[in-house]
Every structure is written in structure tokens, then in C-alpha cells.
Amino acid sequence: MPDYPTIRLKPKAEARAIRHGFPWVFADEVVTDRRTRALTPGTFAVLEDAERRALGLVTVNPGSKIIGRMMDRNAATAIDQDWISARLRRALEHRTRLHDTPYYRLIHAEADGLPGVVIDRFGEAAVIQPNAAWAETHIALLADALQSVTGVTCIVKNGSGRARSLEGLGEDTSVLQGSLDGPVPVLMNGATYMADLLGGQKTGLFFDQRPNHAFAARLAHGARVLDVFSHVGGFSLAALAAGATHALAVDSSAPALELATRGAQASDVAARLETRQGDAFAVMEALHQENAQFDLVICDPPAFAPNKQALDAGLRAYERVAKLAAPLVAPGGYLGLCSCSHAADLGAFRNASARGIGRAGRKAQMIHTGFAGPDHPQLPQLAESGYLKAVFFRLNA
């Protein structure tokens, strides 16, 4: 057995949740003596209950509110390339059953047994987000295991985002293996998307919305479509591929809209795509003043409620999105609203959306609720792993 240090739960800390699969240990649950505080972030340690019984092997970050993340229930496990490769192979088997093209989320953090690690695959390239200290420390080991298991020829480290800052990690995005010569084309839902793996948001493309893009596309044949917070054209390109007559993609990022245009060109639908750069709220207000109407409106904003402290303000923002979007939907048309805020559960988000539609003076039927695709598995004990919600309405008046 490797010679691991130990950390111990306080006598009143609840060990039952850990035994039943909850993967996190919070700082206020642990005896944080001088020895524990001195552990280097990313260290592996045996987690013990108050009676000194081993609960498993965790990775420790004394500077984070999540002081421990469960790595393995076997406290004697060695975390090496073989261990990582086994997790990757198990994840790859699931994804290859789901998809006949190599474009998907390969690792969804705790739900795939690699805490704080996100890996998206883009054909022969892959992007690793090491959002936990252990993954930052062992990034070369992760990359070597990834190349060995999948055969990808290019691996990018995306070291950006709020999750890393909460772990005390800095910004660092670079190519770890191979090379890139520009955005990567991704085939999905009948369209071709252009993913910027080095300079784009997150890993370059939002694979989690794939099934919601597909549902919206079912409503899009012959429709005029408005795609707000469009990023690289997620909903608009899928809608155009399904036969929408026209789509307007709205985003604050000029580079994202340029990639949407390039994706439309690659999909042979460029003549039917229009883009407008600007603040989404301001653009929706302007469209209302222009008396614009669309048969299908989709709004996929950023996380307005990334934590509990931001929940009330976030729900008001989602309500405002719905209030501004609803008047732009033609009678009998459809409105799709999305949230990637794990702090706003489905009920709260759905209610905020319905309030906004009502405040706009519209009547609606809710016709569909969507979530992330099955390449984004949820850990049942961790609500945060099921962050994405999409609700679709038909507006009749």
C-alpha cells in the first residue's frame, strides 16, 4: 500500500453520505490541524471517519472549500497511469455506444470517476480541463493516458474558468501534445460546427446541448429562427440543417459569431444565416421595437446562478430573458429557454421562465423538458452534475 497521509472527519461530521457515494468532503467537516493544512494541494490521502475507519482515498486541497474529493473507495489504491487509463477506457466504451462519430464529452468529472476533470473529444483532438488541484499536478499523466486509450494526436489543456479559481489554480491554456492549425470542424445534428479549442469558451463547443439542439431542430422546418446567446451557432445551425428558412444568431462575442458564419458556410446554409453582435437583452429589446417575429426563439444564456448566493438574482435574470423573448414569438410559435446554473433547479428555473412569459402577456403550453446528453452522465449523489435544463413552450397568444 502506498504511504498516504490521512485526514479525518470531525466527530459530528456525517460519514453516511460519503459511504453512500457522495464524492466531496467539505473543509468544515475535517479536522484541519497543522499537518492537514500543510498538505500540498493535489496530495492523495486516506479519508477516515471519526473512529479512524478508512472511507477511501481522496485528493486533498487545503485551500478549497471542497477539501477532499473521492478518488477511490479502496484506500490502498495507487493513482497511476494504469488507474487513469482504466477510468478512461470505461468512459470511452460508453461514448462509443452512444455516438458513431468521435465528437463527445469523454469525461464528465466525478460522474466518470475522475474528480474535477472534464475531457471533450473533437475527432483526433481532445481538450482536458483540469479543474482540481490533483489534475493540474498530474496533467502529463492524464494526457499520456488519454493518448494511449483514445489514440488522439492533439491534446489541449484548457486551464480557465471559475472552477479553477475556486481551487486556487491560475489560468493556463496550451497545447500539450501535437499541434492545431485552426478551428476544428465538428459534425453534429446534420450541421458542421467550428470549434476553437484554444480561444473559445469552455472547451470550444457545448456538447451538452446536443439533444436540445436536436429537439429544437424538429420544430424548425420552414421556420424563422432566433438564436439568442448563440455562441458558435448551436441552435441556429441545427435549425438551418433541418430546413429553417432563416436564422438570426445573436451573441456578444464577435469571434463566436465569426465561427457561426464559418460553420454555416461549411454546412452550405450561409445564405440563410444572419448574425448580430451585441448585448442579448439590448438586442431583444431592439427586435421588439422593430416588430420582429419568429416561429422559433431559443435563449441559451450563461450561468446566471453559478452558486446559491447568486440564486435570487439569477432567477430574476432568467425571468427577464423569458419576458423579453416571449413577445418575439409569433402566435403558435415556440420558445426554448435554457439554464446551465446548477444552483437553480428545474422547478425554480421553470417557474421563473413561466413568470417571464406571463409578464409579457403571453399564454403558453409547456411541451418539452430537456437535459444534457448521456455523454454527460449524472452522479446520483451529486446534484451539481445535472446542471443543464431546457424548457420548451408553445405560445398560443
Structural domain boundaries in the chain: 6-72, 81-177, 198-395
pLDDT at 14: 79
Which CATH code is given to the segment(s) 6-72? 2.30.130.10
Spell out the CATH class of 198-395. alpha beta
Which CATH number, 3.30.360.10, 3.30.70.580, 3.30.750.80, 3.40.50.12780, labels domain 81-177? 3.30.750.80
Which residues make Cβ contacts (< 8 Å) with residue 307, sequence separation at least 6? 343
Output the tens digit of pLDDT for each of the chain's 397 residues.
Answer: 678 999 999 998 878 889 999 999 999 999 999 999 999 999 999 999 999 999 999 999 999 999 999 999 999 999 999 999 999 999 999 999 999 999 999 999 999 999 999 999 999 999 999 999 999 999 999 999 999 999 999 999 999 988 898 899 999 999 999 999 999 999 999 999 999 999 888 899 999 999 999 999 999 999 999 999 999 999 999 999 999 999 999 999 999 999 999 999 999 999 999 999 999 999 999 999 999 999 999 999 999 998 899 999 999 999 999 999 999 999 999 999 999 998 999 999 999 999 999 999 999 999 999 999 999 999 999 988 889 999 999 998 7
Confidence (pTM): 0.95
Q: What is the 3-state secondary structure of the chain?
A: CCCCCEEEECCCCCCHHHHCCCCEEEHHHECCCHHHHCCCCCEEEEEECCCCCEEEEEEECCCCCEEEEEEECCCCCCCCHHHHHHHHHHHHHHHHHHCCCCEEEEEEHHHHCCCCEEEEEECCEEEEEECCHHHHHCHHHHHHHHHHHHCCCEEEEEECCHHHHHCCCCCEEEEEECCCCCCEEEEECCEEEEECCCCCCCCCCCHHHHHHHHHHHHCCCCCEEEEECCCCCHHHHHHHHCCCCEEEEEECCHHHHHHHHHHHHHCCCHHHEEEEECCHHHHHHHHHHCCCCEEEEEECCCCCCCCHHHHHHHHHHHHHHHHHHHHHEEEEEEEEEEECCCCCCHHHHHHHHHHHHHHCCCCEEEEEEECCCCCCCCCCCCHHHCCCEEEEEEECC
